[in-house]
Amino acid sequence: ASAEDDLVLLERRDSGVAVLTLNRPKALNALSDGLMRALAEKLRQVDADSSLKAAVITGTGKAFAAGADIKEMHSREGYSDVRGENMLAHWNSVSNTRKPIVAAVGGFALGGGCELAMACDIIIASEDAKFGQPEIKLGTIPGVGGTQRLIRAVGKSKAMEWILTGEMISAQEAERAGLVSRVVPAGTVLEEAVKIAEKIASFSSPVVQLAKECVNAAEETSLAEGIRFERHLFHATWGLDDRREGFQAFSEKRQPTWKHR
């Protein structure tokens, strides 16, 4: 494997869960271009591998990720450089992944690290996790969805306060605000996130992916359009053997056996 490849470790578990570990602990997993390319490539492998149903993204050491790589970004001279290479464009690979992704956040999730967590589908936080969008302190603003996703997650007043002050947010406050779904004891965050991913992976994979697509549509559509979209995908589940099996198993008082697990 190349050095770039090792920046993100991919572990395939028998339960159908892929564990992706951001692995640049000396730089608090700062999200360099190389690391994000490696993450994009591994997420592509997860989507393409029919034995994998869900993924967990976590970090090594004392951070999930302390942001995009400040030193690397600083090496770009000016607007024409960053515009020309479309800096950070390949971050879309995370939200474009069709299988569900659980973020297991321990330690710092700052700037691009917080944005990466928010691009995942569920965030589980260790009690020592620290979130935040500190870009304002560097003289810039969030650049991979922070201004858009944070307001949807926590509402305007908190999103504005956090983005305009750059202050760090504790795991407990992040949970109160609805940014994370659960706070768990330090040291257990990866296994708790894997448990959730395993539960998801135990269901019919196409159905799980339809449900994810529907929930995500809510962030981009009007209510009426979203409800129409949901109705179409709900009807589409009648085209799946697994829908028939789930209903049949209920009436026969037995556990369903999913064909497309």
Q: Would you please indicate which residues are annotated as catalytic (active-site) residues?
A: 68, 112, 115, 135
**Residue 135 found at the interface with ligand HXC (CB under 6 A):** yes
| Cβ-based neighbours of 36, under 8 Å, separated by 6 or more | 88, 90, 91, 93
In the region spanning residues 15 to 74, those forming contacts with ligand HXC, defined by CB under 6 A, are 27-28, 30, 66-71
Find the residue with minimal CB distance to ligand HXC. 111
In the chain, the amino acid numbered 177 is A
Say whether residue 7 binds ligand HXC (CB under 6 A): no
Q: Which of 112, 193, 207, 210 binds ligand HXC (CB under 6 A)?
A: 112
180, 105 in Cβ contact below 8 A? Answer: yes
Q: Does residue number 94 form part of the binding site for ligand HXC (CB under 6 A)?
A: no
Q: How far apart are CA 180 and CA 166, in angstroms?
A: 18
By CB under 6 A, which span of 111-119, 172-180, 214-222, 242-250 interacts with ligand HXC?
A: 111-119
Shortest distance (Å) from residue 208 CB to ligand HXC: 28
Which range touches ligand HXC (CB under 6 A), out of 93-101, 131-139, 196-204, 217-225? 131-139
Out of 7, 35, 120, 144, the only residue in the binding site for ligand HXC (CB under 6 A) is 144
Q: Which stretch binds ligand HXC (CB under 6 A): 44-52, 104-112, 187-195, 243-251?
A: 104-112
Chosen residue from 17, 35, 52, 88 binding ligand HXC by CB under 6 A: 88
Applying CB under 6 A, the site for ligand HXC has a residue count of: 21
Closest approach of ligand HXC to the CB of residue 148, in Å: 12
Beta carbon nearer to ligand HXC, 145 or 206 = 145
Least distance in Å: CB of 31 to ligand HXC? 7
Distance CA 192, CA 46 (A): 20
How far is C-alpha 110 from the chain's CA centre? 14
Report the nearest approach of ligand HXC to the CB of residue 56 (Å): 21
Shortest reach from residue 111's CB to ligand HXC, in Å: 2
Residue with tokens 């928010």: 118
Task: Indicate the residue among 138 and 164 with the shorter CB distance to ligand HXC.
Answer: 138
Q: Which residues of this protein are in contact with ligand HXC, per CB under 6 A? A: 27-28, 30, 66-71, 88, 108, 110-112, 115, 134-135, 138, 142-144
